Each structure stands twice: as C-alpha cells, then as structure tokens.
C-alpha cells in the first residue's frame, strides 16, 4: 500500500540519507530508528507530503502521493513533534476543533470519552496552558482514539509520556494495526506492540 523507493534527503548541503526503500501493507508497522539528526522526522514529513525528497518517489496504493493530493491526505493522520494544540483552548475544544479541520465527524460525547481514555477526565474544561507537558501530549494523542484513517504517521509519540500512557498508546496503535491499518513511527525506545508485524528501518 505504501511504497518508498530510493529516497534521498538533503538538508542544506548535507545528504542525511539516500537509497532508502521500504514497503508497508495493511496491518504493518514501520519503526523508524536512528540517532538525533539522522533524518527520521525528515523522512516522516516526506511520507506526509509536506516536503519533497531530493530523489526517489513515494507511492500510496500504487500512485505518487504528490498526484493524489487531497485523496491521500484524507487517508493519513499525522502527529508531529509539536502537539498542534492551542494553549488557550480546553482539551475538549482542541479535540473538537482538530476533528472539524480534518473533516471528521466527532460529537462532544465521543470526544469526552476519548479524553477519559487517555486519562484526562476532569481536565476537559481547563485551558491547555495549565496542563503538564505529558498531559498536553495526551491531548494530542486523544485524537487517535477515534481515528479510523488508514495511515498513521507518528513522530515520537511516546515523548513526555509516563509508562502507563506509553502502554495505552501502544495499545491504540495495536488496535489500529489489527483493523488493517498502517503506521509509521519514529522512536528512541523500543515499545512492544502486540498486534501486527513490525518492520524496522535504521537511518544513520
């Protein structure tokens, strides 16, 4: 479903990586590993279509992602390094607003349930600026609870989370893979994801 061939990444004058190939099908997870500055995030952004590779191509269901455009974006869910939540809004408002912008239907009840699942019960109506770093990350990750799009691209999803939350997110990713979804993660730590098959790609 998701294929990348011969990808090359150039940042400034340095070639971060080249000749990267992988193929991912339904129910599979790609774990991107590598030290700081190895180009994990850059590769993830290329898979999103936010930036173009210096060389090589990325295909989704056999078509170039640049050509698919909106049709591709409709099937992907990206969680970046930044949480993309607004400090002035409450967790509930953030969740509802991001669903609306992503053209997804999410009612207040579902959103409240999702926040409860990620352990933010009782914090729904508190502006996010009063939350801790880990709690903010949980707000961002609450999107995944009801997320049914096929391709998840998660940049360091476990950062700032405690052990319980890491387990929870791993469970959500596992359930996604079991539904036949695809996921690409960048990680520093190895986390066991029970379902689906895991491929690893090391960049250096």
Partner 1 sequence: MLNLIRAIISRDLRLALRRRADLVSALFFFIIVVSLFPLGVGPEPELLRKLAPGVLWVAALLATLLSLPRLFADDHRDGTLEQLALAPQPLGLIVLGKVLAHWLVSGLPLTLLAPVLGIQFDLSGEALWVLAFSLLIGTPALSGIGAIGAALTLGVRGGGVLLSLLVLPLYIPVLIFGAGAVDAAVIGLGAQAHLSLLGAMMLGGVFFAPWPTAAALRIALE
Write out the residues near partner 1 by the rule CB under 8 A: 48-52, 70-71, 73-74, 76, 78, 80-89, 93, 97-98, 100-103, 127
Give the nearer residue to partner 1 in terms of CB position, either 23 or 81: 81
Q: Least distance (Å) from partner 1 to the CB of residue 93?
A: 7
Residue 73 CB, nearest approach to partner 1 (Å): 5
Which residue's CB is nearer to partner 1, number 9 or number 193? 9
Closest distance to partner 1 from the beta carbon of 197 (Å): 26
Measured CA to CA, the distance from residue 37 to residue 53 in angstroms comes to 16
Residue 52 or 108 having the CB closest to partner 1:
52
Length of the chain (residues)? 204
Report the alpha-carbon distance of residue 121 to residue 79 in Å, rounded. Answer: 22
Strand order in the sheet with 182-186: 76-79, 151-155, 182-186, 28-33, 197-202
CB of 154 to partner 1, least distance (A): 13
Residue 59 or 86: the one with the smaller Cβ distance to partner 1 is 86
Rounded to a whole number of angstroms, the minimum distance from the CB of residue 128 to partner 1 is 10
DSSP symbol at 20: E
Would you say 104 or 116 has its CB closer to partner 1? 104
Tell me how far the alpha carbon of residue 142 is from its chain's centroid. Answer: 12
Q: How far apart are alpha carbons 31 and 22 in whole angstroms? A: 11
In order, the DSSP letters of 119-161 are: T-TT-TTS-GGGS-HHHHHHHHHGGGGG---SEEEEESTTTT-
CB-wise, 129 or 202, nearer to partner 1?
129
Angle between helices 91-101 and 108-117 (to 10 degrees): 120
Cβ of residue 106: shortest distance to partner 1, in angstroms? Answer: 12
């Amino acid at each position: 479903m998701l294929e990348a061939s011969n990808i090359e990444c150039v940042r400034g004058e340095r070639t971060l990586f080249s000749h990267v190939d992988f193929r991912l099908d339904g129910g599979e997870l790609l774990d991107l590993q590598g030290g700081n500055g190895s180009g994990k995030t850059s590769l993830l952004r290329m898979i999103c279509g936010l930036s173009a590779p210096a060389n090589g191509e990325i295909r989704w269901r056999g078509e170039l992602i640049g050509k698919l455009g909106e049709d591709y974006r409709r099937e992907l869910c990206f969680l970046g390094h930044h949480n993309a939540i607004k400090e002035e809004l409450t967790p509930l408002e953030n969740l509802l607003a991001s669903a609306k912008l992503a053209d997804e239907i999410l009612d207040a009840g579902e959103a409240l349930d999702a926040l409860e699942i990620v352990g933010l019960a009782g914090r729904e109506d508190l502006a996010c600026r009063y939350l801790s770093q880990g709690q903010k990350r949980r707000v961002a990750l609450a999107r995944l609870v009801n997320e049914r799009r096929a391709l998840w691209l998660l940049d360091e999803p476990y950062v700032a989370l405690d052990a319980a939350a890491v387990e929870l997110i791993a469970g959500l990713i596992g359930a996604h893979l079991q539904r036949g979804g695809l996921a690409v993660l960048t990680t520093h730590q190895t986390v066991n994801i029970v379902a689906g098959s895991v491929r690893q790609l090391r960049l250096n």
